[in-house]
Each structure stands twice: as structure tokens, then as C-alpha cells.
Chains A and B, each alone.
Chain A
Amino acid sequence: MSATGEQAPAVHSGAAGAAQFAGWDSRKFNYFEPKGRKASHYEDMTVDVQPDPKRYLLQDWIISFADGTPTYSESWTKAKSSDWHRFRAVDQEWERTHYQRQSTIVGMLNNVVENGRRSGAPKRFDRAWIKVLADHLGAFKHAEFGLGVATMQAQRYGYSQMINNAILTNSSYKLRFAQDLTLYLSEIGLDIEGIDQAAGKQHWLEDPIWQGTRHAVEAIMGADDYLEQYFATNVIFEPLVAELFRSGFIMQMAAAQNDFMTPAVVSSAEGDFERNLANAVELFHTLAIDEKYGDHNRGLMQAWAGRHGKFALDAAHQLQPIWSQPRVKVAQFNDALEAAKNRVRAIASEIGFDVRAAIGG
């Protein structure tokens, strides 16, 4: 080793503790305030990787768009924050945990589908139910995909690494689930006569039952405010439409149609949503209680809830006929919708904004 000066004591190891000198034991990232008593691994992996002129970016952003907008701009959302770097994702995801969780889900789904098919389960599905799966679960997969596309877009715009990475993993979950549904329908289609693989997309594009949903999803995809996209996805559309369909319809109805496989496949999205929702609630709560901009943000969330709530409620109502299509009717649309609205009310109260105007008190 070349670390030997003439008179200096020779240090023969590059390992921690081999010598003691100024800073030898400074072994923590020391440039941010951890949320808890000490920094989590997630925080170490994430905080300040996307720089900010308000923090350490001495020379400011060094490239801009033609109109002068810098590489990252606070103006990309109407929401305002005293400190965009305060938010931490509740699910604490970094690459390792993300792949572990995603591949656990993939493994779970593979088991369900393999074992189910091996035991001949799909052949015992009720006939009317098979058509429901092909037409409506098949249509619904496009809604999931649309949310994946919207969040993939949104993860470019956030003003901190924490925000963008939370939206990125949200996108990854949604796109995976959209593909899960696609491949699941394809695979049970190998065992069951008459599952039309093209039916789902056709219903998505043309069936009046799905046009409200498609409109609501396109409104999210087309929003040009990335936080509006993230808000509308998790606070409005997921509980009012997606969860309504997944939980309030598929999960409740399937067993009575002799289908034990589909609920297992769909349940993974419920787990994904719990995590994405926890992240979103934390972020929007932080904005709602912002000491300087709380009022403004709560007003903005009401406006977003009003706009996307209307699309989502229209979508939900248009889905109602689906509840009467299965042969064995074990769940009521109105109960499911009421549960969905209650869910939104609970989410809104956790975030701290008034949702009554959007979906009723």
C-alpha cells in the first residue's frame, strides 16, 4: 500500500478502524434530516439524489427547456410546498425491496395459476362467469394499464427524489398487474372453450358500461399536473372504480361462481394499492398541513376531487349492470358503491381535505 509517508506510522489496512484521525468514524450520510430518530436504509438510498438549488445545487440547473423552464421545476404542479423534500414513502421502497415484493407476487400468481389449472379449476367456472371474466375483467385490465401509463409519465416531474420514486414504483405495480390480468386470461383460455381474448379490449373501447371508466382513466392520463395524476389515481379512481370492481365485484362474486383462482390473482392488486395509497396519503397529508400552503393545497385537492370524482362516480354507476350478469348474485352494487364512497371519505379525512362536495357527505 502506498499510504506510507516517511515518518508517518504505516497503516497496512484499508479497513474501517485501521487508523484514527479526524472524521475516521463519520459513517452516516449527514446531509439530510431523517424522519425518525435515525435514517432508514430507504432514506439513505433516496434522499437528495435528485438535487435542488434550494438545498445543495450550487450552480443551479444547468440545462433548461427552450422557454427557460429548468430540468426540474416547482411549477409542474399547482400544489405548493414549503419543503418538497419532507415527504418519505411509507413503503420505504428501494430497488431491492421492490424486486423482492414484485417477484414474490409473480411467484404467488404462478402458483395459483399452475395449481389451479392442474386441478382443472377453470373448467368448473360457471359459464356465465367465464363470459364476465372475458368481457369485463378483460376490459378492466386496460384501466389498470392506463394508470400505469399515467404514473410512468408523472414520475418525471416531481420535485424530489422521494416523490418521483414513489410514483415510479406505483407505475411498476400497475403495469405488472395489467400484464398479470392479460396473461391470466390467456392462460385460463387454454383450458376453457370460448374465452374470447379480444373481447376485453372491445368492451373497453365500445361497451357503454366501460365508457365512463375509460373517460375517467383518460382524464388522468391527460392531466398535465403530475400530482393531479397521482392524486386522481390513488385517492379517487382506485377506491371509487378500481377497488369497487376488484373487491366489490370480482372478489365477492367469484367464489359463488365456482372460481377460486381469479380472487387470488386480483388480490395482489389490493395489496399493491394499500402500499400506493399509504404513500399517496402521506404525501397529500404533508401538503394539506403545510404551514404556509395548507389552505391552498386543501382547496386544490377539493378541486381535483371534484373533477375526477365526477368522472369516477359516472364510471362507477355505468358499471352497475355488471353486478347482475353472474348467474349467482351474492353482492349488491349499491352496497359496494357505498363501501367505496366510505373508503374515499376515510382517505380524505386522513389526508385532511373536504370531499363532501365531490361525492356527498
Chain B
Amino acid sequence: MPDGLTLNKIIAQKGISIGEAAKRVADLGWTPSYVQEAMTFPTDYKIKKAPRDPMKQVLRSYFPMQEEKDNRVYGALDAALRGDMFRNVQPRWVEWMKLFLAIIPFPEISAARSMAMVARLAPGEELRTGFAMQMVDEFRHSTIQMNLKKWYMENYIDPAGFDITEAAFGRCYATTIGRQFAEGFVTGDAITSANVYLTVVAETAFTNTLFVAMPSEAARNGDYALPTVFLSVQSDESRHIGNGHSLLMSLINDPDNHLLLERDLRYAFWQNHAIVDAAIGTFIEYGTTDRDKKKESYAELWHRWIYEDYYRTYMLPLEKYGIKIHHDDVSAAWDRIVKKNYVHATAQFFSVGWPVNFWRIEAQTEKDFEWFEHKYPGWYAEYGDYWKWYKKLSVPGETNILFNTETGYVYPHRCWSCMVPALIREDFCYDEVDGKIYTYCSEVCRWTHKVAFAAEYEGRPTPAMGRFSGRREWETCYDGWDLADAIKDLGFVRPDGETLVPQPHLIFDDSKMWKLEHVRGHTLGSPLIHFRSLSPEGREQAAAEYRKGFKINPCP
């Protein structure tokens, strides 16, 4: 039937308004009187006010709307195949999706799990539907991303790395930072993790770079699938941001919560910056082949989304409630990106470590150099020789760049907080916590571990706060191992049992590909174990040396 002839008008019946529907649905809840709900997710916050639901949501309109979105996504994936998308896609880009899509489904499903935590804590039932929708949304995100990954595996020229994806996620030194992100959503103080870290910061501030900037770059590299999926994912985020803001508003009027909010905003902002900017910055700046000088750099995108949109319009207004905002952290993060080469140093680190990756990284070339120098003046002097070395050492038979001492690169310490290495050498620091020495990328990361994730904060007991645990320094796991054995143990070997999954180039030819035999005979070591073994004076000296940085030797 043509749209103009509205059946609806002929048969319309009186219905109930959406506001009325949301109100009645919110009245489904009650306060139990026979059996109390166990308070299983601890928090040190006090939530006295029931959060409001500004969105007025009911599930009956939610499901068909989401199904419709899905239909568009799956239709577009089919169309991309019919249009032979993979003939023209840039492998440089798709290779990085092996890392990105290995990471992201677990943070997504963790966000679903964290809805259990906020839903039980928040008094009243008005926001229940919002939390339930977010729970199902995140289930959507996790599985729709797994579907995209499977689709790449089936259709892209080199499936190696996609085929081992979740196993690789558990083992790789780069996915660690994604696990820190995801576990941060669900572990420890429930408000710290599920409200501040997940929603108030990760979703409100950083999903724009994740789910909007990434898709644009994908499209520039001939990948129309990622934008289809991720813009659809992003369209759910405004609901999540709304949930988080409502809950935040129900805590913020109680001055008792202000100290903890200040702590958590500080921790969450800094760690989100450290993790997301390292990963997404690298994908966008180094995973692309598009060197159009008119397009925005990651730094420019960051300024627009994080600085203008988030900091100025979301964070700053919280000051009027009496929350101390750490302006200095925001400018320090900005400096790390534009003055201290945070993204470039991360890409350098990922590429140095290519033998223990599970995706390919090719060298940056002259065309890339030009763009970087244009966007980041001074880049060439700092990184030009490095990428020439990388290119030179990408041929099997050369000593791999991770162990090649000619380049002058110094393998970095890990940051015990954000799990990204201490790449900005001058900011490296260390401290003792519970009798043990730990290393950090920055002062705020040191503070996060030692001061924020502790049993008390500024004299106030914080029994609900989480702790950092596990074998957080990846290098510890393979200390003393031969590189080839470590790669085998990681499972990063192709089905022939010889050829590595990772390669330092995009040549799809067995005769050019690295095998275990090419990397055998080098012993991996843990910088932390070594650092701890030094005397206090030795550590001071080593730290001073480390802070001086290194100079890449000219590449012959």
C-alpha cells in the first residue's frame, strides 16, 4: 500500500501514551519483604535517590526497532559481498581488525554483565527497562561483532589470526589492555566500575573515537562492513549514556559521594585515555592507507570529541555540583597525544613486537611519512629511520626487529595500571606497593594503582574497591623462553606448523613469510623481573637512564 494512503488513519484506535506506558511498566517493581535481595555487588557510594528515566522506554517498541537495525546491517553485509568489497579492501587495514575484533566482544558482553550490578544497586524501578535494554544491546554488540569477525575470516585473503581469535585474545600482549578495559567494567566497587568507568567515561567519552572515527577510516580503506556494524552499534549508545547520567545524577547530590566521584573520574578518564587512545589511535593513524592531508588526524578527532564534546560539555558542568575535576589530567592527556607522541610510540611498540602478534603489520612508507610530518611536525626525525629499519628487517633471514640491536630501540617497561608500556620515556616512574616494586607509564597510573585501588582513600575506608591482580606484566609469562617456543605456546603458528601467523609485511607468498626457524635463538625477558632484581640505587640509575629515552640509529 502506498505510504500516503494510511491504513492507520482508517483503523486507528485509542492507545496509551508512551509516557503512560513507561510509568506503568516502572510500577512492576516492589520492595521485597519476605526475603531480602543479597547485596552481592559492593559499593562504597551511597545511593539514596532513585534515578529517573528521561528516555521513557518500553521493550515492546525496542525489539522491533532493533530487529529493523539488524536487517539493515545484514543486508549491507550481503551487499558488500555482492559488490566484491574484498577485491578492493586494503589488507593493511583488515589486518588490524584481527586485533581490534579480538578485543572488543568481551568488553561489550562485560557491559551487559555490569547491568546486573547497577540494576540491583539503583533504588526504584524507573531505570530498570533502560538497564535491561542496555543489557540486551550489549549482547547484541558482542555477538554482532563476532559475526563481523567470522565474516572477515571467511572472505578476506588471509584468515590466519581471525581463526584463533578468542584464544589469541586470552594470550596476546596487546589484548591485555582490552582485558583491563573489560574487567574494569565489572570488578571491584560496582559504581566505580559499572557506572563511572563504563558509562560516564568509556561510553560517554570514548565510544565516539571507537565507533565513529574507526568506521570513517574503515570506509577510506575500502571496508564498508565495519562502518555498517559499528555505526549501528553506536546508535545504541545514547541510551547507555542516558542510563549512566541518570545514575550519576542520583549520586551527585550527596556530598558524601564527592570524594569517591573525584577519585573515580580521575582514574577512569586517565585509564580510558591510556587504553583507547593507544589502540584506536594506532588503528586509525597506522592502519590506514589513506593519506589525504585534508582529513582529520587522530589528534584533531580527539580534540573535537574528547576535549570539546566531553570535557567541556559533560565533565566541566559537574563542577557546579562540587566535584573536583582534574583539568590538568585532560591537558596532560592532550599533551601526550600531540607533544609526546603517544600514538606513534604505541604503533612503534606494536610493530617492534610483531613476532608475538597474531596479525600482520607492514612498514610505513614514503607516502605515509609525508602525511605524518604534515600532521605531526617533527615526526620524521623521530620515526623515519625506525620505519626504514622495520622495512629492511622484514625479510626472513634478517634478525627480527624485536631482537635486532642495530636499531637502537629499547624495549619498554609495562605500566602496571593501564597495561600499555611506559612509552613516553620521560614520564616513567615506579613505586612500592605492599612491599613490591611496580613500574608505571605516568604519575596518574602510579596513583591509580597505589592510591585509588586500595582499602582506603584519603583517610576514608573503601572496602568495596577492587585490586589489580594476576600476571599483569605479560613479559613475566615468557621470561627466559626462546622466542620460537613462546610463539608456539601462544598458538600463533599457521596450520602448517611452521609459518608464523604474524608477518612484518603484506606479502601473501610462502617464500617471503617468516617461519619458526627464522625467529629461534632469541630469549625473551621480563623488564620488571630485571628491574626488581636491582638494588635501590641500581633502580634509580636504571630509571634515570630509561627516562633519557633512546635514539634510533640511522638506517643504512
Contact = CB atoms under 8 A, between A and B. Distances in A.
B506 interface: yes
Interface in A78-119: 94-96, 98-100, 102-103, 105-107, 109-110, 114, 117-118
Nearest to B146: A45
- On chain B, which size bracket covers the interface? 35 or more
Contacts of A117: 13
B536 interface: no
Nearest to A52: B170
Nearest to B86: A15
Interface string B167-179: 1111100001001
Contacts of B179: 51, 59, 62
Nearest to A184: B60
Contacts of B40: 153, 224
Contacts of A155: 112-113, 116, 135
B477 interface: yes
B430 to A, nearest CB: 19
Given A24-B159, A31-B491, A118-B11, 8 more contacts: A45-B143, A49-B109, A145-B28, A171-B132, A171-B135, A176-B59, A218-B33, A223-B38
B220 interface: no
Contact of A180 (B60, B89, B164, B171): B60
A3 to B, nearest CB: 4
Contact of B32 (A21, A22, A109, A221): A221
A215 interface: yes
B340 to A, nearest CB: 26
B383 to A, nearest CB: 18
A252 to B, nearest CB: 25
Given A14-B89, A14-B156, A56-B166, A219 B468 contact: no
Contacts of A261: none
Contacts of B157: 11, 13-19, 24
Interface of A: 1-5, 8-9, 11, 13-19, 21-32, 41, 44-51, 55-66, 68, 70-71, 94-96, 98-100, 102-103, 105-107, 109-110, 114, 117-118, 141-142, 145, 148-149, 152-157, 161, 164-165, 168-169, 171-172, 175-176, 178-180, 182-183, 186-187, 190, 197, 201, 204-205, 211, 214-215, 218-219, 221-224
A82 B50 CA distance: 42
27 contacts: A2-B91, A4-B507, A13-B157, A16-B157, A18-B87, A22-B494, A23-B499, A26-B159, A29-B153, A29-B164, A62-B468, A63-B466, A65-B188, A98-B139, A102-B63, A103-B63, A103-B66, A141-B28, A154-B116, A176-B60, A179-B60, A182-B24, A182-B27, A190-B14, A204-B30, A218-B33, A219-B34
Interface in B273-309: 289
B167 A56 contact: yes
B117 interface: yes
B165 to A, nearest CB: 7
Contact of A66 (B64, B169, B464): B464
Given A15-B155, A29-B166, A186 B21 contact: yes
A21 B510 contact: yes
A168 B509 contact: no
B184 interface: yes
A137 B29 CA distance: 15
Contacts of A96: 70, 74, 143-144, 147
B470 A62 contact: yes
A16 B188 contact: no
Q: Among B21, B29, B67, B129, which residue has the most Cβ atoms of chain A within 10 A?
A: B67
A95 B139 contact: yes
B136 A183 contact: no
A23 B116 contact: no
Contacts of B37: 153, 221-222
A1 B158 CA distance: 15
Contacts of A57: 170-171
Contacts of A224: 38, 40
Given A49-B109, A58-B170, A60-B470, A179 B59 contact: yes
- The 8 A-B pairs at the shortest CB distance, nearest first, are namely A56-B170, A23-B494, A156-B116, A22-B499, A222-B35, A15-B86, A48-B166, A31-B167
